[in-house]
A and B are shown apart, each in its own frame.
Chain A
């Protein structure tokens, strides 16, 4: 089976972002960038399938600025075979990302596309479902386990009431949740080896996808501040405060 994995370069998840004073967005200059955490789990899942002899080739794709080669290199160091960066400095909405990925799917003909369930910058949680919709393929989102069974997949999904396990035929789309696996940290020799692997950088214009945004971001604002409260002296004080709060709720 051939696997395509989509990875996004985002502001590192540990960075506490600041909204720019002019409201035009969040400050991304001089901020640490890395692979979106959910994408790491998607790459790890692909590599594990290859190690189990269930996948023959893993192609990794990222859409974004030239520096996105960094996150593709990370995926190659983890064990993917080949990389592609679709280069653009524009903001690309999720619908356009899905259309670009469809073009890559048409060219590469993978049996499985693995994505993260969401990118932690825009927190959209769109692209996997959109790509599945564009291709008319079945989807298994929020995956916490993937097993190859016969010609298809059994996928456990995290849902609102617990988990569900579903079976789907290939080709299919699966989006990774954090409990899917533990992504490896590539050792230095793997990082060196990754530089020898094929990595193509192609301008977005080659793909013939209209990336004109459909939505206008009017402004970005910081969330309302919470005013600091007080530290209580004892369990009795806490119990009294809780009792008062609950009584107030019941009065409403």
Chain B
């Protein structure tokens, strides 16, 4: 009995999430890793190197170029039978696919798992992280999405066998366009340091201060929903209940009030640092350390001091 994990990849590379999901899944049994997509290049070999992987299954087809939920669900459904756990990252693709697959298999999934307490017992946050629910399942098979940020990555150095399998599915939806945020900052979901900005920046041009500070610290850039809605930052930088969940060692929130929907995304942060003119802002209240003042004065000075 083993575990089937859907590999998370983008632009010809595994994302940082995959090794973390494999590490989590390894607690449940030996892992078969399914790599699905188009023009996969070096990804299967990267996947085979992750410790805990017993086999890599590869389906490489132009039909899978967009990784549509319909196609990926079908691939997993065809392979589901022997596995007692089927797991994906709680990423856009995992969230899209696992519930659809669950309905197909008449199973109730457990999603956004942050702790594995046993083969059938899991912890997941509810109410924007204001409560943690422990659920158990008596179903024959468990379908899960796991929050990558809650687990450490598995080591590399493995050389699992790779099996190339024929594609059996067709894309149902058609891709019209992709709008990709071009940025050379680290992956937000798995970054060690994150610098986030809020609506206080007032414009896209001023929001560049966040990016400048992040570059000095080698950090990923995050944003509040308000900053994204205002057009200061792209949607994939949003941190929170409906954005990305981050768990960096350092989280620096600048001009961020700390609304409960934003805090939902940073509960796993080890240290929180706030820069805000309001000493009563919720983020200042929970920060490990805070500086109270005007960000337009503080941030340029901080960048200069860090460069020294």
Contacts and interface: CB of A to CB of B under 8 A. Distances in A.
Interface of A: 11, 13, 16-17, 19, 26, 93-95, 98, 117-118, 120-134, 138-142, 144, 154, 157-168, 177-179, 213-223, 226, 228-232, 234-239, 241-243, 245-246, 249
15 contacts: A26-B130, A122-B126, A126-B99, A130-B99, A158-B236, A161-B10, A163-B179, A165-B178, A220-B134, A223-B129, A226-B286, A231-B292, A238-B289, A238-B302, A242-B217
Interface stretch (B23-31, B38-46, B157-165, B271-279): B271-279
Interface in B244-294: 244, 249-250, 252, 260-261, 267, 271-273, 275, 279, 284-292
A217 B123 CA distance: 10
Given A117-B242, A235-B305, A220 B92 contact: no
Nearest to B110: A215
Contacts of A120: 127-128, 241
Given A126-B109, A126-B111, A249-B192, A218 B100 contact: no
A231 B287 CA distance: 9
B267 to A, nearest CB: 6
B193 A95 contact: no
Given A154-B176, A167-B173, A215 B249 contact: no
A219 B217 contact: no
Nearest to A242: B306
B151 to A, nearest CB: 17
A56 to B, nearest CB: 24
Contacts of B121: 218
Given A19-B131, A133-B101, A249-B193, A232 B235 contact: no
Interface in B42-86: 66, 68-70, 73
B107 A162 contact: no
Interface string B153-180: 0000000000000000000111111111
B96 A139 contact: yes
A154 B177 CA distance: 10
Interface of B: 10-11, 66, 68-70, 73, 91-93, 95-104, 106-112, 121, 125-139, 172-181, 189, 192-193, 217, 225, 228-229, 234-236, 241-242, 244, 249-250, 252, 260-261, 267, 271-273, 275, 279, 284-292, 298, 301-302, 305-306
Interface secondary structure of B, over-half rule: mixed
B176 A129 contact: no
A234 B293 CA distance: 9
B192 to A, nearest CB: 6
Contacts of B103: 95, 98, 129-134
Given A166-B176, A179-B229, A223-B131, A139 B108 contact: no
Contacts of B273: 238, 241-242
A177 B225 CA distance: 12
The 5 closest A-B pairs by CB, nearest first: A133-B103, A239-B305, A214-B108, A130-B103, A129-B99
A207 to B, nearest CB: 16
B267 A223 contact: yes
Nearest to B121: A218
Contacts of B305: 235-236, 239
